[in-house]
Structure 1
Amino acid sequence: MLLCIPLSPGLQEAKTDISMATKDDSEVRLSHDLSEGEIKATQKRREKVLMCLKNLGIHCEQNNVPNIVVLGSGGGLRALIALLGTLVELKKNNLLDAVMYLCGVSGSTWCMSLLYEDRKWSENLMSLEKELCKNLSNLSWHITKAKESLAESSKDEHYSLTDFWASCFVYKILQQFDENELADHREASETGINPYPIYAAVDKEALKEKDGNLPETWFEFTPHEVGYTALGAFVSTKHFGSEFENGKLKKKGKKKHICYMQGLWGSALGNMEENLKFIRGSVRDVITVVFKTIQCALTWKWGTTNNFLYNCPYSQPSYLIKTKTISLIDAGLAINSAYPLVLRAQRRTDLIISFDFSSGDPFETIKKTATYCQENNIPFPKIEDQKMDENNPSDCYIFRGDKSCPTVMHFPLFNNMNCSDKIEEYRKRFPTFHMFFPEGDIKDLLEKARLNVSNNIGKILDEIKCLVSSFHPKEF
């Protein structure tokens, strides 16, 4: 299928006249095509998906393999644990290998980035689950490491609260400080063993416009490229944060480690009380860090980095051409699930399996997505026909449309199937801004997430079978 995202007239004309697609990764790539790395990775993954479906008794040809996406919403540590349990249950039921893309927001990106350290994580998922749960229930972070990281980060002219949040709190929550880069995850995404990962953020300035429904609000990260999805403007992931001008690399920036990225993807608003507590405890040792952090707090400066579209030819909108920096923040502040990224036309998404770990209304993400798609003329199933009781949700909702849009399966985390009449009790027990859960609570949360999969395996298989039986051959 082909989904079209409308462009401004100037940008549309630029795309017609020139597509700055280039193998030189030191240049900005202006093209709506997928990156060469993603194309090769998903082609390899398609072989795995085809084999998985055949083992499940679903027979299709190479050019009829459905593109299945698993979406994990935000929700802090709750989302990390719940997505882990979800993936484990998909694995146990032999469905994980049918997934082409894994896409996350905020807390779900924490889970993903931890997993992709292992280049064969989907094969080693059971042992990784035990290891991650053991780490999460451990309180062994080192304040010295946090201070060292902050001291180094404070030398950067674009130091922001994201650096502080990553070093002091994401590190503390995840109990590890990953100094690798996102580009280092290429091997884990290129062999076909694992789904292809997509991480979400949003542009802070664009988020202020049109209630956050501008397509150029969304910014995606993959192991190969980062950039503005709707604008078709990307740079190599290894150059994220570097200085560009006129579409060309001007000065290489300091490498952004995974811990920083986890802070950027999952920043939300941070915990100001805890932030100030850390500052007060560290003031004598890290005066410079404290001073810069306070400056950032006064202006609420998050995720500031060099803008690779500065003075870039053929690029729109104009504010991105004129400004030297951009600020990227938690995508959950827009839509707490990254539908806009997987609805990118070139990804040809057929089935979205959305696991919603949000607090509050478990249907807010799909409601916001429906509005976003309506305002931007993007095909999306109608959701008004189904009753959605936010106080007493069921465990699975299926939204279907015509052939122009994907089928969406929506799974609220806490529901009347896995929590019975204790939905509100579980919501209060697992708040978003909790930085630690005891081991018993982690196991309980994992079980609730698993049930949402195991109780609906038949429905998931039926949707895949329905898609395959109605397919016409695709061209790739």
Structure 2
Amino acid sequence: MSASKLQESGEVRIAHSLHMNEEEFVARRRETVFQSMQKLKIHCSKDEVPNIALLGSGGGQRAMVGLLGSLVQLDKAGLLDCVLYLSGVSGSTWCMASLYQEPDWSTKLETVKDQIIERLSGPGVSWGDAFAKLKKYHKKDFFSLTDVWAAIAITTYVKEIDELTLTDQWDHLSKDPFPIYTVIDKQCKKEKEKGGDKEDPWFEISPLEAGYSLTGAFVETSSFGSKFENGSKKKPQDEMDMLYLQALCGSALADRGEIFKFLWEIIKDLFEDLTPVIESDTFEEMRKEPKAPPAYKCYQVLIDLVEVNLAVLNGKDPSALVQTIKTTLEELGGGKNHLIIPGEKSTLAEKQAAKFDVKKFTEHVIKDLSCLFSSDSFDLVLSICKCMTQWIWGRNYNFLHKMKNETVPPGLLKSETRDYIDAGLLLNSPYFSVLREERDIDLIISLDFSEGDPFMTVKKTQKLCEELNIPFPEVILKEKAKNPKDFYVFKGKNAPTVIHIPLFNVVNCGENIEAWRNKYDTIQGSYSRKKITDLMDIAGKNISNNREKLLEQIQAVIDQKRHK
């Protein structure tokens, strides 16, 4: 399928309809589904072919491996070709990105699966390659912690730097389900949490379009990140690559809290690994300008600055480190600096109010350092620190900037930039990408790899759908979250049927559910080959044990369509 068929207008599309290329793809894919129904001895006319969406929740590596294991068993059960859409959140998108590298992966899944396991259990990306990628990202108009997360963290999990794009994937997308990656708009999330009723945080990214699922505002994915004004592209940017997309989707760390400390630790390791670069910068700068301040001293200030932030996060007194930074900066800057030091206020009232503002302190140190020394590597690490103090994730140009359209929430039209983060921070499953009325989904198969309550995603979706007047079945549960079964069906009038499958349950884990959950915690190092294959087996059992039930529900939605 040639990329030349894509609509290359560079214009924003406001409409509650599918992209014309998606419509054509769906029509062809429904023919594949029809043929699959015949093989399964399920009788239906072409008009009665059900639109089935498979959802993969978030959950880091657990979700990535769990989705792979589930897909392998769906293939063995003859059910994979029944799936029209495959949509993921967070860790599930890491699996999707790996699969869609390979043209027609669903026709040779056993081979593709072996290749993925080999890579995931093999050596990681070298520090030099990761840092080189980070330097490339730094040249973009907007640099954020998502770029850092992509190069330093995502590479440790997926063990590669995937520089293909979604447009590249579209060029060879033919025999696989239509993929939809999902994130949320951070600013919309905040407004929604304040009680805003006109916010649409649900953002989807397919090989064709990126945009707001419920509002119906889209731009071609190849243009997502470019600068727009009043609906027209003004300043093109390179299309995001798959490594960045995986970080955008899998950036649950954008929720701060304890994770803030975790990221400072990663950045500390990064800075300490920069020793060879520091020496090179020092030599080069002294060659150009003999009076330039030593680069290694500027880097030491940065490392001390990270330690200050970690000390504050750990409840320790940062005063000694702060004084060291002040002294060094005075030496480097000829006695001038902008720092605010805790304990230097004079009056009693001021001393009581002098609770150390680490964010303000960090910003002042960065300001001083940026005036003292500059190199590509040093400017990069300064940018990382700036992003940390402002907690910037997923920043891109807003393609709706200055548009005049009454159907789009006003808040989306004003700002020049928007920040996009892991959808799991609001809802850990991509329901709203497939609940668009124009996708006309009959059956949703929800694979839940979440940590904690395995019913949270489906219960929260029902509540949100009630608020938004979107048809969704009532969720009635008898089991407790600690001991879920492996198969749930929820039905409602004029609503899609929802099959919900928790990863760890009393059927595939017996009495050891908690042990399995502990073994596959969300935040941990990359999995060994055994951990990968064990988890794939557990996830696969949820499909193989319920093949007949899945077939029954597919037949039921066909019967429902027939009676309509």
Shift of 1:346: 0.4
1:472 & 1:38 partners in 2: Cα distance? 25
- Structure 1: which amino acid aligns with 2:11? E
- 1:332 maps to which residue? 424
Residue number in structure 2 paired with 1:197: 179
State the number of aligned residues.
449
Matched residues in 1 for 2:111 and 2:423: separation? Answer: 30
CA contact (8 A) 2:60 2:91 kept: yes
Which of 547, 555, 561 is the aligned partner of 1:465? 555
**CA separation in 1, counterparts of 2:380 and 2:182?**
28
CA distance in 2, matches of 1:152, 1:274: 19
The one-letter amino acid of 1:325's match is T
Q: Which has the larger radius of gyration?
A: 2
User: 1:171-190 to 2 correspondence within 5 Å?
Assistant: 171-189=155-173
- AA partner of residue 49 (structure 2): V
Structure in which a larger fraction of residues adopt helix:
2
The amino acid that maps onto 2:458 is I
Superimposed CA distance per residue, residues 168-222 of structure 1 (whole angstroms, 9 cap, x where no aligned partner): 1111210111111111111343x2x110001100000111133398661010000
**In 2, Cα distance between the equivalents of 1:420 and 1:318?**
51
Distance in 2, Cα, partners of 1:452 & 1:395: 6
The corresponding residue for 2:191 is: 209
Letter paired with 1:228: Y
Please state if 1:295 is matched with 2:386. yes
Matched residue type, 1:322: K
For structure 1, which runs of at least 5 residues remain unmatched after alignment?
1-21
Q: 1:473 to 1:163 in 2, by over 3 A?
A: farther
- 2:274 is aligned, of 277, 282, 291, to 282
5 Å-filtered alignment, 1:19-418, equals 23-189=7-173, 191=174, 193-211=175-193, 216-269=200-253, 271-272=262-263, 273-282=265-274, 285=277, 286-314=377-405, 316-384=408-476, 386-402=477-493, 404-418=494-508
Deviations along 1:423-464, one digit per CA (max 9) or x if unpaired, are: 000101001112311111111100000000000011100001
Superimposed CA distance per residue, residues 71-121 of structure 1 (whole angstroms, 9 cap, x where no aligned partner): 000000110000000000000010000000000000000100110111110
Contact persistence 2:230–2:403 (CA under 8 A) = yes
Contact 1:137 1:437 in 2 (8 A): yes
8 Å contact from structure 2 (residues 192, 199) kept in 1: no
Alignment of 1:419-438 (within 5 A): 419-438=509-528
Q: For 1:63 and 1:341, locate their aligned partners in 2 and report how far apart those are by CA, in whole Å.
A: 23
CA contact (8 A) 1:63 1:473 kept: no
SS at match of 1:185: helix
Output the CA distance in 1 between the equivalents of 2:192 and 2:230: 29
Q: Is the 8 A contact 2:401 2:412 kept in 1?
A: yes
- Counterpart in the other structure of 2:545: 455
Does the CA contact (< 8 Å) of 2:58 and 2:88 recur in 1? yes
SS at match of 1:205: helix
What SS does structure 2 have at the residue aligned with 1:138? coil
TM-score normalised to structure 2 length? 0.78
Percent identical pairs in the alignment equals 41
Partners in 1 of 2:161 and 2:549 — Cα distance?
39
Amino acid at match of 2:188: A
* Matched letter for residue 174 of structure 1: V
Q: TM-score scaled by structure 1?
A: 0.92
Q: 1:9-43: per-residue Cα shift (whole Å, max 9, x none)?
A: xxxxxxxxxxxxx9553100111100111111111
